Amino acid sequence: MRHSLTAFLSFFVVGLAIVALEAFFLAARFDQFQSQVLRNSELTLSLMQREAALQRFKLKKEAFESKTALLLSGYNPEPLTVGPETFGDLFSMGVQISPQEVSANKGAKVWTYKLSSSAIEYHRLMPAISALENQYPLGRFIEIDLKTKRPPFALTPGPIEFTGIFSTLRGRQ
Amino acid sequence: MVSYGLFTSRKERNRQRYRSDKFYRGTFTVILMVIVAQAFLAAAASALLTAEKRIDPETRTLELRLTRLESEEEQYGALLRKLKTVASLKPLIENRIPATKLVSNIEEAFLANEQVGLVELKLSNHFDLNDPNSKDDFTILITGAIKATSLIPTVILTDFTKTLGEKLPQAANVEISRNAVVQGADAFAPFEVRIHYTGP
């Protein structure tokens, strides 16, 4: 092979390789730059939306806090402590309240409380039962049994036999 | 151009051949083109570098904003988790039918029918708290009495069940499971009414 042809081919191949590699590297950097620009614009938009949402959230924070506290009332990993704060007038009026599950029972998905009384009149008992239901939106009376202790059509109100089972959903840890 | 030809040596003729050999000229062209390409590539690289430097502060600012926003959002994490819990338990809360509301409806029916008295009310709800799609499913058994002095206890009981149907939600099913019949010298005619109601 002629020397000139060899030199031409060598220079051509090496020159082309150099230019191609540089162009490839530059193209890759350009792609990276473009994707960074795109990422930045997407991030700007998402940040604006998230910041606006956070602002709106901050404005309603207190309302959200009070609402969630009300709606998730009784949704605890531990059963309610029996007392006037948790069982209101029912406790104050002397209704017997006993939790059916102990807190150590990890398998329990609901907390159940048995309520009973035989010394309270219907007109005093029902508002207290109703208040308990309203206090715990996730609670339900599974059973209510009301029985008069006196013959029907009594002219004065008398105490009634009451038993009830109230359940609330158990909160996760 | 240095003339060469017959009177020059072979060595000199070989040395001067780059002037006429097309491959040597091609080689020269290749070198030139590579140099020109290098110039273009250098210009492009410099422009790219400038642009990259220009967006660097913007990227850093955005990353800073993101970090700040995430830490701010983290402050409200507990409340957000509570809101998510409320959202997941929404059907349980929204679809709940308070048992006391039904008892109150029954109470209204008794008040509307003075000749009917309540002896016992047994309410049970077969709601499954473990199933968020479960519905309140009430069964209520009312044991009552009608004064024996009433003319036709069965008619009074029918009126009472009609009132119950009006006071209770529409889907409630009211049926007499024991009709009011006066037995012997009893002062009251006992009866039993069964109500079944499944929430919407």
A7-46: per-residue pLDDT in tens? 899 999 999 999 999 999 999 999 999 999 999 999 999 9
- Cα B63 versus chain centre, distance: 29
Range 113-152 of B in CB contact (< 8 A) with A: 117-125, 127, 129-130, 136, 144-145, 147
> CB pairs below 8 Å between A and B: how many?
167
Coil, helix or strand at residue B89:
coil
**Strand A110-121 to B137-147 pairing:** unpaired
Please say if the pLDDT value at position B25 is more than 90.
no
Q: Greater confidence, B30 or B10?
A: B30
Question: Which residues, 6+ apart, have CB-to-CB distance to A116 below 8 Å?
Answer: A95, A96, A162, A163, A164
Q: Are residues A55 and A88 in the same domain?
A: no
Range of the domain at A34: 3-59
In which residue ranges of chain A is pLDDT below 70?
1, 102-108, 172-173
Show the tokens assigned to B162.
């009609």
Q: Greater confidence, A3 or B141?
A: B141
Does some domain include residue A88? Answer: yes
Please say if the pLDDT value at position B95 is more than 90.
no
Q: Which amino acid is at A31?
A: D
Q: Are residues A46 and A109 in the same domain?
A: no
Does some domain include residue A129? Answer: yes
Strand partners, B193: B142, B176
Say whether residue B43 is in contact with chain A using an 8 A CB cutoff. no
Please say if the pLDDT value at position B1 is more than 70.
no
Q: Which pLDDT belongs to residue A74?
A: 85
Per-residue confidence at B186, pLDDT binned at 50, 70, 90?
Answer: confident
Question: Which residues, 6+ apart, have CB-to-CB distance to B40 below 8 Å?
Answer: none
Within 8 A of A19 by CB-CB distance, chain B residues are 34, 37-38, 41
Task: Tell me whether residues A72 and B82 touch, CB distance under 8 A.
Answer: yes
Strand partners, A163: A116, A145
DSSP A154: -
Rounded Cα–Cα distance for residues B103 and A162 (Å):
13
**Distance in Å, alpha carbon of B7 to nearest chain A alpha carbon:** 24
**Distance in Å, alpha carbon of A91 to nearest chain B alpha carbon:** 18
Which H helix or E strand runs over B159?
helix B153-167
Please say if the pLDDT value at position B2 is more than 60.
no
Rounded Cα–Cα distance for residues A11 and A16 (Å):
8
Q: pTM for the full model?
A: 0.70
Q: Greater confidence, B20 or B196?
A: B196
Q: Kindly indicate whether the ipTM for this predicted assembly is greater than 0.90, answering yes or no.
A: no
Q: Are residues A114 and A150 in the same domain?
A: yes
Q: Are residues A47 and A89 in the same domain?
A: no
